[in-house]
Structure 1
């Protein structure tokens, strides 16, 4: 004989109102708080939507929100039976997220803004309804985070893995190949692993599908994690196989097939087949819902009606606190941006020659013709120097100074081609340089164009601090904006050209930096600045 149980029959008395109307007043207040968060942080959420619309990698974001709403709607009966239990940790979490959003807004870090604003939605649920509701809606709330356009930080590792996998597979099949970074050459033609070939869009799409599939079809944590791990690893390996197959198709057809947009179409078809196979195999491992069991007979405790439920006033107070906390941070952000539109006088950067170095004319032999891309309209200085004794190769210097930094016009801004259209980064790392005032870390990049090489050292000066750490630059910028201090910053680049068979001229760059850095520092201190 089967027994049909109420879905909330096994919840503790403290979490369920006997009258079944635990959320009559709390749910409307929660919806009001969620709508207020979306409205107050509309610019942040709109920036997410813009990325969904212009990037195929993040287009899945259009589906995440309705799927999360549908998953929450499926649990409406159980949610309605829960007694509201406003939580002070929820208010503390909401305040901490607001502060993180404010810092990210001041430092112009959109991805942190988006994660903080998205996390405010679960924080409101915790603050108004309490932990039982958060546990009940854990997956729908967590699934919202997949809507945040994040993942570009994995582009370079994925590109490197795809190139290494493809070259190794070609070598195993007897095809001669020469690799240079993400570029490799075959007897029939040249190939390059670019952003579209990295497999990032396949990985993100598989993760979103795998998380939903695991939640709907499995109940044990172990199996859910196994499906999630497969959804992460299989697309990476499959993308390597896809790249190898496309290169082989082009090689065997003498570069007549899979050399244009058709290889992207082949890639999506291959990924679709892999995803179908993955989820078909996972479906054979699916779990049926656990069979309901009768709870053991226990003595009926004397519980007064509504025990464990918060009073309506407590729910109203929690909702009002959520609204005030959510509104506080955008107001502070407006104050920190009050001077962003103020006009500044035009600045012309001019530097005296460093000791023991002389500036070369633009048409002089050895002048290095490379310009690093930048954002906005900073004051610029670019020159090529050679030692007065004629020893060593010329050294290039590029200096950019921002009197005031705003979004998309600052030291650290995402650029589609950070080294220009012709140059490719072969290696990047942090290198320590010995200077008279102590050791200085620089961001070292090795750029390549054919057989040419550029050794590039880059440091930033923000708030009087010279550093190679982007995170510190952003924190100093946020501090300056929020405290009304000077926020000017400089981007300093020194570089030298060399042959691919020669060792990198690090000692030459170090000698120039030792001579030039005091001159640059003195000039930057003399420049006017805005608050």
Structure 2
């Protein structure tokens, strides 16, 4: 009678442990991949919105390379990852829940960039929850590199445009070229120039940061040198873009506007950026330090076996990840169930504010862009005593707010084609009900100026803070409260040599805001 022995049973104890450890690690990796795939599927709309931005914006086209590069960087660590025992982490599950809540709030408030960051951060949170802190430390850079795929950076456009214009004008003055600057526009004896979005240097900055981070990770192992290379990748493109703009303007000026004014303008720019990037990385290569060879740590049953979690714990952590990831899209669907409002059309009409009367034959000097089809009201008012310049009011009211049809929606030309901003900020104004903040903008067209004050009314709160508007909108959607909101804009025209008519706008808002508040409260709205 022959007895068949299990092949594993014939192995020594250490070999048996290694065999079980390998099977447990393979199972954990498989469960992790399934959890990551589930997150991508559950939040496919968010990830797809990132891909759409990559495809239509040259500024963020690098996103197509970030994901495969991150996967390649993680693949390089496969041997060391296979030697780690799974250690499911409860803080990872907590982090996943917090990120899901942040995604839900961003979805309700229609803030795509926060949705995208939250959904992307769920991927490393799953790694932490299923494999544990050692795996996250091992894959720290590949996981962090994924965040560069999120299309973010447009908030820096205006500061970069202002810096580039100031740098160019200063360099022209230092080289003896007469120049007159008006905001982001400046005039030379040979022609006029303007620093627009494509000249801001944001594309160079984002591309250099992505390249610099990858170069620093691959070629250095000292944290200090890696940070130095990344800092250089941030600062050098900003300065180089100013030099690029100056050289292009000088080329056009010296050639009597025959060179660097057409498509060659962009070609020269990218060639210059390529040279700067090559010079930057050539200099960094002189301090290159390759990491020391790292052998795969030997399997030690006593030490690793004690730290390793049971297969059931890994399965429980994976199931918990799936449930936590799935609950937030379900809640989001519930919050959007009434996004198509069935409300009657509203015609906005306001009585004249005390001590002011409406000028019915005065055309508006400017029309503020808006999204969707809100109820609108626009009028020009003058004091009854005839003192001061006329003040214009524009009011946009949304009964319900949805993506691309709300108070705060990104506008390609937020001030229209005719006007350009000279200054922007928040100003605190004393009214009869107390002090409020207004978003003040000074718009220019030639010698004409517009002083614009803007506030938002959301959830019964009048504020100039967009973040508060978004939070109030998210609260209203998730709790089923009224979510109507209004954009209140008052402005007055004046000459560039005259002082801004702030006292006139303050007097009008003191009289008109209570009238507007009462009328908006009476309008029909949905929950």
Normalised to the residue count of structure 2, the TM-score between the two structures is 0.94
SS of residue matched to 2:453: strand
Unmatched tracts of structure 1, length 5 or more = 298-302
The 8 Å contact of residues 17 and 81 in structure 1, kept in 2 or not, is answered as: no
- How far 1:289 sits from its partner (Å)? 2.4
Q: Please list the CA deviations of residues 400-421 of structure 1 after superposition, one character each: whole Å capped at 9, or x if unmatched.
A: 1000000000000000111111
The 8 Å contact of residues 128 and 318 in structure 1, kept in 2 or not, is answered as: yes
The 8 Å contact of residues 14 and 307 in structure 1, kept in 2 or not, is answered as: no
Alpha carbons of structure 1 residues 364 and 325: separation in structure 2 relative to 1, 3 Å:
closer
- How far 1:10 sits from its partner (Å)? 28
Q: Please list the CA deviations of residues 70-94 of structure 1 after superposition, one character each: whole Å capped at 9, or x if unmatched.
A: 0001111111111000000000000
Alpha carbons of structure 1 residues 73 and 189: separation in structure 2 relative to 1, 3 Å:
same
Alpha carbons of structure 1 residues 465 and 17: separation in structure 2 relative to 1, 3 Å:
farther
The 8 Å contact of residues 89 and 131 in structure 2, kept in 1 or not, is answered as: yes
For residues 434 and 10 of structure 1, the distance between their equivalents in structure 2, rounded to whole angstroms, comes to 86
Alpha carbons of structure 1 residues 158 and 13: separation in structure 2 relative to 1, 3 Å:
farther
The 8 Å contact of residues 219 and 289 in structure 2, kept in 1 or not, is answered as: yes
The 8 Å contact of residues 85 and 304 in structure 2, kept in 1 or not, is answered as: no
Q: Please list the CA deviations of residues 402-448 of structure 1 after superposition, one character each: whole Å capped at 9, or x if unmatched.
A: 00000000000000111111111110111111111101110000000
Alpha carbons of structure 1 residues 191 and 294: separation in structure 2 relative to 1, 3 Å:
closer
The 8 Å contact of residues 17 and 305 in structure 1, kept in 2 or not, is answered as: no
1:214-363 matches, within 5 Å, as 214-290=216-292, 303=302, 306-363=305-362
- How far 1:296 sits from its partner (Å)? 14
The 8 Å contact of residues 188 and 255 in structure 1, kept in 2 or not, is answered as: yes
Question: Could you tell which deviates more after superposition, 89-98 or 19-28?
Answer: 19-28
Alpha carbons of structure 1 residues 364 and 409: separation in structure 2 relative to 1, 3 Å:
closer
For residues 63 and 310 of structure 2, the distance between their equivalents in structure 1, rounded to whole angstroms, comes to 38
Unmatched tracts of structure 2, length 5 or more = none
The 8 Å contact of residues 59 and 206 in structure 2, kept in 1 or not, is answered as: yes
Q: Please list the CA deviations of residues 13-38 of structure 1 after superposition, one character each: whole Å capped at 9, or x if unmatched.
A: 99997448451210000000000000
- How far 1:288 sits from its partner (Å)? 2.7
- How far 1:133 sits from its partner (Å)? 0.4
The 8 Å contact of residues 13 and 307 in structure 1, kept in 2 or not, is answered as: no
The 8 Å contact of residues 83 and 297 in structure 2, kept in 1 or not, is answered as: no
The 8 Å contact of residues 250 and 259 in structure 1, kept in 2 or not, is answered as: yes
Alpha carbons of structure 1 residues 228 and 465: separation in structure 2 relative to 1, 3 Å:
same
The 8 Å contact of residues 20 and 80 in structure 1, kept in 2 or not, is answered as: no
For residues 2 and 456 of structure 2, the distance between their equivalents in structure 1, rounded to whole angstroms, comes to 71
The 8 Å contact of residues 15 and 82 in structure 1, kept in 2 or not, is answered as: no
- How far 1:525 sits from its partner (Å)? 0.7
Question: Could you tell which deviates more after superposition, 356-365 or 310-319?
Answer: 356-365
For residues 519 and 14 of structure 2, the distance between their equivalents in structure 1, rounded to whole angstroms, comes to 68
Alpha carbons of structure 1 residues 16 and 236: separation in structure 2 relative to 1, 3 Å:
farther
For residues 396 and 439 of structure 1, the distance between their equivalents in structure 2, rounded to whole angstroms, comes to 22
The 8 Å contact of residues 343 and 524 in structure 2, kept in 1 or not, is answered as: no
Alpha carbons of structure 1 residues 232 and 28: separation in structure 2 relative to 1, 3 Å:
same
The 8 Å contact of residues 18 and 305 in structure 1, kept in 2 or not, is answered as: no
For residues 441 and 9 of structure 2, the distance between their equivalents in structure 1, rounded to whole angstroms, comes to 62
1:56-455 matches, within 5 Å, as 56-290=58-292, 303=302, 306-363=305-362, 370-455=366-451
- How far 1:262 sits from its partner (Å)? 1.5
Alpha carbons of structure 1 residues 310 and 421: separation in structure 2 relative to 1, 3 Å:
same
SS of residue matched to 2:372: coil
Alpha carbons of structure 1 residues 77 and 4: separation in structure 2 relative to 1, 3 Å:
farther
- How far 1:51 sits from its partner (Å)? 0.3
The 8 Å contact of residues 398 and 406 in structure 2, kept in 1 or not, is answered as: yes
For residues 7 and 138 of structure 1, the distance between their equivalents in structure 2, rounded to whole angstroms, comes to 38
The 8 Å contact of residues 446 and 456 in structure 1, kept in 2 or not, is answered as: yes
- Aligned CA-pair RMSD: 5.4
Q: Please list the CA deviations of residues 181-215 of structure 1 after superposition, one character each: whole Å capped at 9, or x if unmatched.
A: 11111011111100000000000000000000000
- How far 1:2 sits from its partner (Å)? 49
The 8 Å contact of residues 58 and 203 in structure 2, kept in 1 or not, is answered as: yes
SS of residue matched to 1:490: strand
For residues 368 and 241 of structure 2, the distance between their equivalents in structure 1, rounded to whole angstroms, comes to 32
The 8 Å contact of residues 14 and 83 in structure 1, kept in 2 or not, is answered as: no
Alpha carbons of structure 1 residues 166 and 130: separation in structure 2 relative to 1, 3 Å:
same
For residues 210 and 270 of structure 2, the distance between their equivalents in structure 1, rounded to whole angstroms, comes to 16
For residues 432 and 150 of structure 2, the distance between their equivalents in structure 1, rounded to whole angstroms, comes to 45
Q: Please list the CA deviations of residues 309-363 of structure 1 after superposition, one character each: whole Å capped at 9, or x if unmatched.
A: 1000000000000000000000000000000023221000000111111111235
For residues 357 and 5 of structure 1, the distance between their equivalents in structure 2, rounded to whole angstroms, comes to 100
The 8 Å contact of residues 173 and 179 in structure 2, kept in 1 or not, is answered as: yes
Normalised to the residue count of structure 1, the TM-score between the two structures is 0.94
Alpha carbons of structure 1 residues 224 and 11: separation in structure 2 relative to 1, 3 Å:
farther
Alpha carbons of structure 1 residues 488 and 195: separation in structure 2 relative to 1, 3 Å:
same
Alpha carbons of structure 1 residues 291 and 119: separation in structure 2 relative to 1, 3 Å:
closer
For residues 4 and 257 of structure 1, the distance between their equivalents in structure 2, rounded to whole angstroms, comes to 86
- How far 1:308 sits from its partner (Å)? 1.2
- How far 1:5 sits from its partner (Å)? 34
Q: Please list the CA deviations of residues 457-509 of structure 1 after superposition, one character each: whole Å capped at 9, or x if unmatched.
A: 00000000000000000000000000000000000000000000100000000
SS of residue matched to 2:305: coil
The 8 Å contact of residues 362 and 380 in structure 2, kept in 1 or not, is answered as: no
The 8 Å contact of residues 80 and 297 in structure 2, kept in 1 or not, is answered as: no
- How far 1:259 sits from its partner (Å)? 1.0
Q: Please list the CA deviations of residues 165-190 of structure 1 after superposition, one character each: whole Å capped at 9, or x if unmatched.
A: 00000000000001111111101111
Q: Please list the CA deviations of residues 7-63 of structure 1 after superposition, one character each: whole Å capped at 9, or x if unmatched.
A: 999999999974484512100000000000000000000000000000000000000
Question: Could you tell which deviates more after superposition, 352-361 or 243-252?
Answer: 352-361
The 8 Å contact of residues 117 and 150 in structure 2, kept in 1 or not, is answered as: yes
For residues 222 and 175 of structure 2, the distance between their equivalents in structure 1, rounded to whole angstroms, comes to 42
SS of residue matched to 1:190: strand
For residues 9 and 152 of structure 2, the distance between their equivalents in structure 1, rounded to whole angstroms, comes to 40
Q: Please list the CA deviations of residues 346-399 of structure 1 after superposition, one character each: whole Å capped at 9, or x if unmatched.
A: 00000011111111123579xxxx100000000000000111111111100000
Question: Could you tell which deviates more after superposition, 356-365 or 227-236?
Answer: 356-365
Corresponding position of 1:481: 477
